[in-house]
Amino acid sequence: MSRLLQWLFGRLPIGWLQLTHSRPRFAAALAGVAFANVLVFVQLGIMNSMATATLKPYEFFQPDIMISASDANSMSEGGNVARQWLFQALADPDVTGGTGLFIATVDWARETDNLALTTYGIDPTLPQFLSPAMARKISSLQLQNAGILDMFSRGLPREEAAAIRPQTPASFEVSGTTLTLYDTFQGGGGFGVDGYMMVSDQTFLTLFPKRSSAAPDHIFLQIARGADPDVVAARLRGAISDKTLRIRSFAQAAAEDQSYQQTERPTGIIFGFGVIIGILVGIVIVYQVLSTDVADHLSEYATFKAMGYPQQFFLGIVFEEALILAILGFVPGFFVASGLLVGMKAATGLPLAMTTTMAVMVFIGTLVACSVSGAIATRRLATADPADLF
C-alpha cells in the first residue's frame, strides 16, 4: 500500500504512514467512517425500498393516462372519479380506450395472522391496460369471486403461495363472500400493506357493496399509437369539465407519487433526515480524526515548513488522509450495510437491497464529506510555526 501511494503521489505517503502508525487509532477511525456509511446506507436503503414499494403497483398496469381525484396524491389515496369523465375523455380523437380501476384493502384473516392486501378491481376483458406479465394471469378473473394473489405477500409462506394454482385454488372469506384464489403474481409487501390482490371489477363490487361501478378510484386511458401522453393529457385537462381532476400521463403520476412519498409523507422526511444525520456524523468523525492528527504532528509539520515545504504539501497530507479514510472506511461500511439490508429484508419483507446507484452515490458522498472534513482540519495547520521549534 505504501509503495502504491508513493507511486501515486510521487512522494512519501506521509498521510498513510501517520494514520497507520497507531493501528488501534486507525482502526477506530475507519470504524467511525464505516459506521457513518452504514447509517447512510441503511437510511438510503429504506428510502429506496419505499420508492420501490411505491412504484410496485404501477408495474401491474400500463395505461397511457390516468385520471384521478384532486386529492389522489398516490395510487391508493384519494376520492373516486365519476365514470362520466371516462366517456368525455373518449371524445378526444387520440383516446382509443378507457377503463376504471377500483382499489380497496381486503383483510385476509388467517389462523396466525391477518394479511392486509391492497386489492385492485379491473375489467378482465381489457388486458391491454395491464402489464404483459399480469395480462397473462387474469383469465381466471372472469369467474365470479375469483382473485389472483401476490406470491410475495408478507406473512404468506412461500410454499403456500406456490401451491395456489388454477388446479389447486385456495379460498378464504371476505365479508361473508368466499373468494377463491386461482393463481399468483409477483408483487411484494410495502410499508402500508402486506401484499396485493387482483380481482375483476364485478367481484370487487361484490366484496365492497357500498362502492359503485359509476365511481372507480382512477380512470385509465389508452391513446393512439404515436400520440404523446403528456400532450393528450394537457388537452384533456382543457376538455373535461371537472377542472379539479388530476389528469396526468401514467409515468408522471408514478413520478409524482414517488416524490410525494419521499418529500411530503412523514416516513420519507424522517428517512431523508436520517441520511443527512449520517453524513454529518461522518463529517464530524473524520474531522475529529484529522484535526487530532494535525494537532499531534504540529511540530513535525513545523519542521517540514522550516525545511521549505510549501503549504500545498501539508494540505496534500491532510487530503491524502481524508481520501484514505474515505476509501478504506467505505469498504467495511458497504459490506456491513449490505448484510444489514439483507437481514432487514428477510425480517420485514420490504424490498430492501444494496444497489449500484446507492453504492456509487455513497462512495462519492463519502469522498466529498471526508474532503470537507479535511478542508476544515487544515485550518489547524496555520498554527505550525517553524520559529517555535527553536
Partner 1 sequence: MSEDTPIAVTGLNHWFGTGEARKQAIFDVNLQVKRGSLTILMGPSGSGKTTVLTLMGCLRDVQDGSVNLMGHELNGADRAQNEALRRRLGFIFQAHNLHGSLTALQNVLMGVQVHGLPDRQTQHDAARHALSLVGLADRMGYLPANLSGGQKQRVAVARALVGNPDVIFADEPTAALDSESGMTVVKMLKKLGQMRGTTTVMVTHDDRILELADRIVTLEDGRIVRDTAPYHE
Residues that bind partner 1 (CB under 8 A): 6, 11-12, 14, 17-18, 20-21, 297, 299-300, 302-304, 306-311, 386-387, 389-390
Q: Quick one: 219 or 324, whose CB is closer to partner 1? A: 324
The span from the CA of 314 to the CA of 320, in Å, is 10
Q: Quick one: 182 or 314, whose CB is closer to partner 1? A: 314
Which single residue is written with the C-alpha cell 494537532?
Answer: 295
For residue 15, the minimal CB distance to partner 1 (Å) is 10
Give backbone dihedrals phi and psi of 310, rounded to 5 degrees, phi first.
-80, 170
Q: Quick one: 171 or 299, whose CB is closer to partner 1? A: 299
How many Cβ atoms are within 10 Å of 235's Cβ, its own excluded?
Answer: 18
Give backbone dihedrals phi and psi of 193, rounded to 5 degrees, phi first.
-130, 165
In this structure, are residues 27 and 322 in contact, taking their beta carbons and an 8 Å threshold?
A: no
For residue 9, the minimal CB distance to partner 1 (Å) is 10
Q: Quick one: 304 or 334, whose CB is closer to partner 1? A: 304
For residue 303, the minimal CB distance to partner 1 (Å) is 4
CA atoms within 13 A on the CB side of 144: 4
For residue 16, the minimal CB distance to partner 1 (Å) is 9
Q: Quick one: 347 or 387, whose CB is closer to partner 1? A: 387
For residue 5, the minimal CB distance to partner 1 (Å) is 13
How many Cβ atoms are within 10 Å of 35's Cβ, its own excluded?
Answer: 18
The span from the CA of 58 to the CA of 149, in Å, is 16
For residue 59, the minimal CB distance to partner 1 (Å) is 55
For residue 17, the minimal CB distance to partner 1 (Å) is 4
Q: Quick one: 183 or 293, whose CB is closer to partner 1? A: 293
Helical ranges in the chain per DSSP H: 2-9, 14-21, 23-55, 84-90, 132-135, 158-163, 201-207, 229-239, 250-263, 266-296, 298-307, 311-348, 356-377
Best CA proximity match to 312, nearest among 320, 303, 323: 320
Q: Quick one: 307 or 347, whose CB is closer to partner 1? A: 307
Best CA proximity match to 56, nearest among 188, 151, 156, 154: 188
